[in-house]
Amino acid sequence: MYIIKSIKHMRSAIVVVLGMLSPAMASIWPIPFVYTNGTSNTAANNAQITARSPTSPILDAAIRRYNELIEYESFTPPTDYNKRPPATEGSLAGLSVLVIDDDDETLSLDTDESYTLDIPTDGMAKLKASSVYGAMRGMETYSQLLVFNGGSRFIKSTPIHIEDKPMLKHRGLLLDTARNYYPVGDILRTLDAMSFNKMNIFHWHIVDSQSWPVESKTFPDLQSKGAYATNMQYSYKDVQKVINYARLRGIRVIPEFDMPGHTYAVGLSKPEIMSCLNKQPSWDNFAPEPPSGQLNIAKPAARDFAIDIVSEYVRLFPDNVFHLGGDEVNRNCWKEDPDVRAYLGANPEETVESLLVDFYDKLHGAVESLNRTGMTWEETLFHSNYVPPKNTIIQSWIDEASIPKTVAKGYRSIASPASAYYLDCGHGSWLSNVAGTSWCDPFKTWMHIYNFDPMANITSAKERKLVIGAEVALWSEQSDPTVLDARLWPRAAAMAETAWSGKTDSRGHVRTTKEVAQRLHNQRFRMVGRGIMAEPLQPLWCARNPGACFSP
Amino acid sequence: MYIIKSIKHMRSAIVVVLGMLSPAMASIWPIPFVYTNGTSNTAANNAQITARSPTSPILDAAIRRYNELIEYESFTPPTDYNKRPPATEGSLAGLSVLVIDDDDETLSLDTDESYTLDIPTDGMAKLKASSVYGAMRGMETYSQLLVFNGGSRFIKSTPIHIEDKPMLKHRGLLLDTARNYYPVGDILRTLDAMSFNKMNIFHWHIVDSQSWPVESKTFPDLQSKGAYATNMQYSYKDVQKVINYARLRGIRVIPEFDMPGHTYAVGLSKPEIMSCLNKQPSWDNFAPEPPSGQLNIAKPAARDFAIDIVSEYVRLFPDNVFHLGGDEVNRNCWKEDPDVRAYLGANPEETVESLLVDFYDKLHGAVESLNRTGMTWEETLFHSNYVPPKNTIIQSWIDEASIPKTVAKGYRSIASPASAYYLDCGHGSWLSNVAGTSWCDPFKTWMHIYNFDPMANITSAKERKLVIGAEVALWSEQSDPTVLDARLWPRAAAMAETAWSGKTDSRGHVRTTKEVAQRLHNQRFRMVGRGIMAEPLQPLWCARNPGACFSP
């Protein structure tokens, strides 16, 4: 439908043939929803972006940012190496941006990120969007169309018409800043890289058993005793900087305060509300990894603490969604806890399970009363007796099959299966006496990630609509700033395309990794040029010779 | 023997108990051959190194380098975090270095790298070595003994007496600079990192099918047509810079010019001497990976070319050892080559195998006549009818079992089994349509590397002596400058210790990864402080709590 409409507007337009990419489209990642292009080349020495509409500070900042990026960037696709500059049939006069509905700049699941982009063979290119965030997505596409050759800038395959919008509303990246610490600068660079791939959710797994790096005004000792060091902390100012930086790039920040498990670091300042603190050497009876420690669900003070945490941090994190964790709780930790045993002895109608249900109920109730949508790992839904509120967002990680199970129960699902989306996996066990693999080996290659379909085995349209997102995760047992970029990129980009563009093109063809490899090479080399140390996919020879490095 | 002798010289000396490390020794990697230490702490604000003997430019440069390093370094072991500075019983007056036999500064397999280091509780420390290279190893150990706390520098566990020497003469690292290119600066940084781990061989896999980055004066087109780009080349000056930089760190540079396979890039300028150039799409009938291409062994011009290459590069690379490659030749490439078929038709007494034997014979003969020792991958010995000269060094990679097989045949062996020492493995297939694993998965963890014993299953003392080295390899299908440091370090350090110190301590105890983890953490964090982006082993919490992160 889009294609037909577009063709009417364009002379010399050609429709893309299955698996054949025009030079222009070869440089776009993720691939737009629909597009048509011609066969001309346009000189683009003047590529300046200007606003056609009343602007906002957010739009202004985005235009300034992309104008700067365009000014310093000089990306040449590997396939253009040693080729002559193309003959041009016209000159670009810049890009003018129109945002139709400028009023509501709140970022949420309902934000409209769609845009249309028209690039003529000669004259002014036009970008139209319903929101400033859609405009940013369009500017990113525009920046990717600009390629260098022999000291000059071009847009190939003009005229170009693009109508674009995301398939999934939540295209996320989780970073664990607790097992190892990442300076704010690393997080900001990651947000930049996400924006290059039209990702829109930074899931900040900010605390865990190993450390509590974030400032707390309610309980200052959480940070002073729980952070790794005074220079390994996130102050309120740091957090606000991250949130603002993200917002300017159309990225929501969803904080996760994981409770009641994964909380050893809380015990450094509040041992009185904890169970099974750092049991050694048999930590494996109490926790999935050392150090063990869980909030003591038999103690009202532990529940109050959890609610205080939510109450404090909903004020710091403006996003509508608040992640409560809820993963990997260990029942034995509580069963062996003397306080829990005493409580259960005095209250024979209670069990560990009923205490846990009560804990979840209070916590989710607090989130609701604070006007937030709760998000939680799948265990809360599948491995406890608790029934979360129907609007809770359930994040799957244990099993790909829990995505269809989640939506079958009527809950919204975020797909983060460890088997496909855990970017830290594949580096073997990290326990010092284990020379073998880890539970989540092998390494998830970009092809494996690209092939995964969050919608697999979900046929009903209603249930497919409940799969609202996909999210890659970088857990930090074996990651820290030294490896951040290479662990994330370009593999997170592989997910980003399937989440934005879907697995299938407008003709119903399921894209293959062999077809998209050239575009991902381009995206990877472009990201390296933009300062992101994305790892290489293949020898440079393969990037220059598309289709030559595959298994026959 | 060493221990007893040392004790005589030292008051309050204690001998190390199995698995228990003094604070001083916890900061040394690789662990010295034998050592004793006391229980005092020495202030080390004055840690300046001076020469006691007539110096040489190489020794001068090493002293200057370590004095600079000591001046800027302020390493605090993770276990000392938030601890008070120790009480001191004396002050260091610096380190004086004596090189006994200063005359021959040639680097070779016979270089004596031993040293003795004495650090008193109070006064001047003394380092004695037979060669400038042994002195460097001792200065490295000395630099690692210096730790910071609360703004001051200390040496703990004084007095210290160390007598150290390597178990293996060849402790190598292979870098493939052909599949992807590494700037000279990356190589120099890698040489620094090697010296921090007492490694002494840089095996420069400098050319391969994908590119020919090195300048050739005999055939300038090899580089102009075979390098990836004009800024992706190694000029003679660059190579000399690498060799000199390496020599100043006691590192030999062994060049590899891999022939007759892995030579597609030669065909870009000399197609007339090649077979099966870039067969597509069925490259797998002709080569282990794309692009296919081998020197045409039926053509005298190809043999002459190979000999010309050796003749040119023995002049550029002064090391006594010259690596000829010889791996992964594909017989079918020649069997289907029209020239080879015509030749064999006209010479029915010849076969592909006899041509290959003749090629090897000419090439190894040329190396010998140029006063070099040939080195070659194991296929030359095991998978061809050729019998290499007895002094040829055989590098194993296919099978751990080929190490004992090599020495049983009386050849010297370098252990580089892919199953243990290939640092690039574990990232899955890199072919764009394969979502699964690669032949050399999984990832080799540092524990797996540490556990590998190059001497395994070799019992005769004579044969064990023929295992002269161990070498880790970084092939570059999925590596380039973005990931160099993290792919190499600290895993190469795990091999470096087993190659320098052996698997067994002086009491016959086989070291376990659980025991050495704390020292490797220290080495990793020290390397990061020295500018090497070594990947993390565990959460920082584990580095601060030795023994808490293992499988019970």
Residues sharing a CB contact under 8 Å with residue B414, sequence separation 6 or more, in sequence order: B170, B172, B375, B393, B394, B395, B396, B468, B469, B470, B471
Whether B197 has its CB under 8 Å from any CB of chain A: the answer is no
Q: A362 near A303, Cβ under 8 Å?
A: yes
Nearest to A485 by CA among B538, B436, B424, B485: B485
Q: A204 near A325, Cβ under 8 Å?
A: no
| Residue B24 in this model has a pLDDT that exceeds 50 | yes
Q: Say which of B180, B281, B445 has its CB closest to residue A429.
A: B445
Q: Name the active-site residue from B89, B105, B328, B350.
A: B328
Contact residues, chain A, for B228 at CB < 8 Å: 540-541
Q: Write out pLDDT tens, residues A389-405.
A: 999 999 999 999 999 99
Best of A80, A278, A283, A432 to mutate (most B CBs within 10 Å, chain B): A432
Provide the Cα torsion B463, B464, B465, B466; round to 10°. Answer: 60
Whether B409 has its CB under 8 Å from any CB of chain A: the answer is no
How far apart, in Å, do the first and last CA atoms of chain A sit?
36
Whether A431 has its CB under 8 Å from any CB of chain B: the answer is yes
Q: How many residues does chain A have?
A: 552
Distance in angstroms (rounded) separating the CA atoms of residues B177 and B212 = 9
Q: In Å, how far are A138, A544, B526 from B225, measured between CA atoms?
A: 40, 15, 42
How far apart, in Å, do the first and last CA atoms of chain B sit?
36
| Residue B150 in this model has a pLDDT that exceeds 50 | yes
Dihedral sign, CA of A131, A137, A141, A142? positive
User: Nearest-5° angle of CA A102, CA A107, CA A109?
Assistant: 115
The distance from CA A122 to its chain's CA centroid, rounded to whole angstroms, is: 37
Distance in angstroms (rounded) separating the CA atoms of residues B249 and B232 = 25
Provide the Cα torsion A352, A356, A361, A363; round to 10°. Answer: 140
Say yes or no for a CB contact (<8 Å) between A443 and B443: yes
Shortest CA gap A437–chain B (Å): 8
The pLDDT, as a whole number, for residue A20 is 64
| Cis peptide leading into residue B271 (ω within 30°) | no
Mean predicted confidence (pLDDT) in B249-269: 98
Say yes or no for a CB contact (<8 Å) between A552 and B81: no
Q: Write out pLDDT tens, residues A222-262.
A: 999 999 999 999 999 999 999 999 999 999 999 999 999 99
Whether A440 has its CB under 8 Å from any CB of chain B: the answer is no
Active site residue B328: yes
Q: Which two tokens stand for residue B256?
A: 């590899």
Q: Which two tokens stand for residue A111?
A: 């934000």
Confidence of residue B530 (pLDDT cuts 50, 70, 90): very high
Q: B333 near B274, Cβ under 8 Å?
A: no
Say yes or no for a CB contact (<8 Å) between A480 and B448: no
Shortest CA gap A268–chain B (Å): 13
Interface of A with B in 446-485 (CB under 8 A): 447-448, 450-451, 476-480, 482-483, 485
Q: Tally A–B CB contacts below 8 A.
A: 219
Say yes or no for a CB contact (<8 Å) between A426 and B443: yes
The pLDDT, as a whole number, for residue B102 is 65
Contact residues, chain A, for B426 at CB < 8 Å: 426-428, 442-443
Distance in angstroms (rounded) separating the CA atoms of residues B159 and B356 = 60
Nearest to A376 by CA among A475, A495, A251, A261: A261
- Kindly give the pairing relationship between strand B467-474 and strand B412-415: parallel
Low-confidence ranges of chain A (pLDDT < 70): 1-20, 102
Contact residues, chain B, for A231 at CB < 8 Å: none
Mean predicted confidence (pLDDT) in B106-124: 97
Whether A438 has its CB under 8 Å from any CB of chain B: the answer is no
Confidence of residue B7 (pLDDT cuts 50, 70, 90): very low
The pLDDT, as a whole number, for residue B101 is 78
Q: A486 near B488, Cβ under 8 Å?
A: no
Give me the phi and psi of A172, to 5 degrees please.
Answer: -115, 165
The amino acid that residue A546 corresponds to is P
Residues sharing a CB contact under 8 Å with residue B280, sequence separation 6 or more, in sequence order: A548, B290, B291
Distance in angstroms (rounded) separating the CA atoms of residues B234 and B181 = 10
User: Nearest-5° angle of CA B202, CA B365, CA B475?
Assistant: 30
Mean predicted confidence (pLDDT) in B42-48: 97
Distance in angstroms (rounded) separating the CA atoms of residues B104 and B107 = 9
Residue where the block lists tokens 């109070």:
B122
Q: B203 near B471, Cβ under 8 Å?
A: yes
Distance in angstroms (rounded) separating the CA atoms of residues B491 and B444 = 8
Whether B213 has its CB under 8 Å from any CB of chain A: the answer is no
Contact residues, chain A, for B291 at CB < 8 Å: 541, 545, 548
| Cis peptide leading into residue A23 (ω within 30°) | no
Angle subtended by helix axes B352-369 and B300-316, to nearest 10: 30
Burial of B483 (0-12, 13-18, 19+ CB in 10 A): buried
Confidence of residue B6 (pLDDT cuts 50, 70, 90): very low
What percent of chain A lies above the pLDDT cut of 70? 96
Say yes or no for a CB contact (<8 Å) between B445 and A428: yes
Nearest to B136 by CA among B60, B35, B45, B26: B60
Q: B518 near B21, Cβ under 8 Å?
A: yes
ipTM of the shown complex: 0.95
Whether A266 has its CB under 8 Å from any CB of chain B: the answer is no
Angle subtended by helix axes B338-346 and B352-369, to nearest 10: 100
The pLDDT, as a whole number, for residue A102 is 65
Residue where the block lists tokens 């054949």:
A20
Best of B224, B533, B538 to mutate (most A CBs within 10 Å, chain A): B538
Residue-averaged pLDDT of chain B: 95
Distance in angstroms (rounded) separating the CA atoms of residues B208 and B226 = 10
The pLDDT, as a whole number, for residue B20 is 64
Best of B432, B479, B521, B550 to mutate (most A CBs within 10 Å, chain A): B432
| Residue B4 in this model has a pLDDT that exceeds 60 | no
Mean predicted confidence (pLDDT) in B210-224: 98
Q: Name the active-site residue from A89, A105, A289, A328.
A: A328
